Amino acid sequence: MAIEIRKIAISTGGGDCPGLNAVIRAVVRTANIKYGWEVVGIKDGLQGVMDTTTKLIPLNRHNVAGFLQKGGTVLGTTNRGNPFEIKQEIDGRMQTVDISDAVVENIRREHIDAVVGIGGDGTMLIMNQLYKKGIPIVGVPKTIDNDLLSTDVTFGFDTAVAIATDALDRLQTTAASHHRVMVVELMGRYAGWIALHSGIAGGAEVILIPEIPYNIERVCDVIRQRMKREGFSIVVVAEGAKPVGGSHSVLHEGGQGAVERLGGVAYKVAEEIEHFTGAEVRTTVLGHVQRGGAPTAYDRVLSTRFGVAAADLIHEGNFGRMVTLRGTEICDVTFEEAIENLKFVDPDGQLVRAAEEIGVCLGR
């Protein structure tokens, strides 16, 4: 639906991610330079438009200078900003309420003609719901986990892999010096992309991912052989990894609108390795270090291309769609297609086969 555009808004939802500010910069510069639009940023996901005291940040081609290399998001973000499921105390009881009508009204009151929503599958679900309520919206995929099936790559993933690989390189030297087993836990939720890519790049002997439940006896056999040959070993464990017949380790289930927080599996794996092999084991949980800092050159370029494409979608009136990368080309899909399925590592795929053929143990 083609509409006259004068003013657009940008929202960043879900976890922070290297490249978010680069997307914001690209949207703003394209909107200002190419189309002559006014741009504002919504503070902290959609929380900035959830009540009448809206929190908006004016953005223009001049005040986004320096955004390209800056990590995180200058707009702020949250995992608990779903206006369709807000927890409120009513008559002394906590209840779930839908305040999406207020969000729609506030966006219109601010004369915002269209919104660019940047986030993962949860954010795209919310954006799709708001789109169906009449708000012109386009989406940009964001997740370091690289688990959105509709796009070949999400920005932030390359940076997360680079950070994890650098950490593994550093741990190689200290592990060798002390003749230890280093167990490193990486992010990725239920997808093993970060662990698999960085584990291969960082020379890990064992890589445990959610898609392949691990047999700890098999892992320990490999560790024993490695310790005899080399005297040290690196084990990469995705936070969503689980043993055969077991379940994920959950640190926190989260409240209404929050996502389940995984983690702690590396400590369990380390304890079992130490118990069954007698090796000296140390554990490193890289955690949010993977989210922070400046994005890689690849992520800066991809973020810029996504931001430009999002502004172009608005100009063309193609709302209710999310930009994607297919091969080397920027495309777009409907929100329904964007959130229909997640992308997981194929246990029998080429990347897994390549790892195993060079002697990496994936726990099976």
Q: What is the pLDDT of residue 233?
A: 95
Whether 145 sits among the annotated catalytic residues: the reply is yes
Mark the binding-site residues, compressed into ranges.
15, 80-81, 120-123, 143-145, 180, 187-189, 239, 282, 288-291
Average pLDDT of the chain, as a whole number = 92
% of the chain exceeding 90 in pLDDT: 80
CATH architecture of structural domain 158-290? 3-Layer(aba) Sandwich (3.40)
Query: What six digits make up the tokens of 294?
Result: 């400046």
Question: Binding site for ATP: what residues are annotated?
Answer: 15, 80-81, 120-123
Q: What is the pLDDT of residue 191?
A: 95
pLDDT at 257: 46
Q: Hey, which residues does 240 pair with through a beta bridge?
A: none
3-state secondary structure of 1: coil
Catalytic option among 145, 147, 158, 299: 145
pLDDT digits (tens, 9 = 90+) for 305-316: 999 999 999 999
Cβ atoms of 114 and 315 closer than 8 Å: no
189: left (phi over 0), alpha (psi -120 to 50) or beta: left
Which fold would CATH assign to domain 7-155+295-340? Rossmann fold (3.40.50)
**Structural domain spans, the chain:** 7-155+295-340, 158-290
Annotated binding site for substrate: 143-145, 180, 187-189, 239, 282, 288-291
pLDDT digits (tens, 9 = 90+) for 209-242: 999 999 999 999 999 999 999 999 999 999 999 9
- CA torsion sign for 334, 60, 154, 103 is negative
If pLDDT is split at 50, 70 and 90, which confidence band does 1 have? Answer: low
Q: Extract the annotated binding site for Mg(2+).
A: 121
- 7-155+295-340 and 158-290 have identical folds: yes
pLDDT at 15: 84
pLDDT, average across residues 106-119: 96
pTM attached to this predicted model: 0.91
> Is residue 264 predicted with pLDDT exceeding 50?
yes
Predicted confidence band of residue 41 (pLDDT cuts 50, 70, 90): very high
pLDDT computed for residue 256 by the predictor: 45
66-100 pLDDT per residue, tens:
999 998 899 998 877 789 988 887 878 888 888 99
CA dist 193 and 199 (Å) reads 10
Provide CB contacts within 8 A for 29, sequence distance 6+.
61, 64
Q: Within 10 A of 229 (CB to CB), how many other CB atoms are there?
A: 10
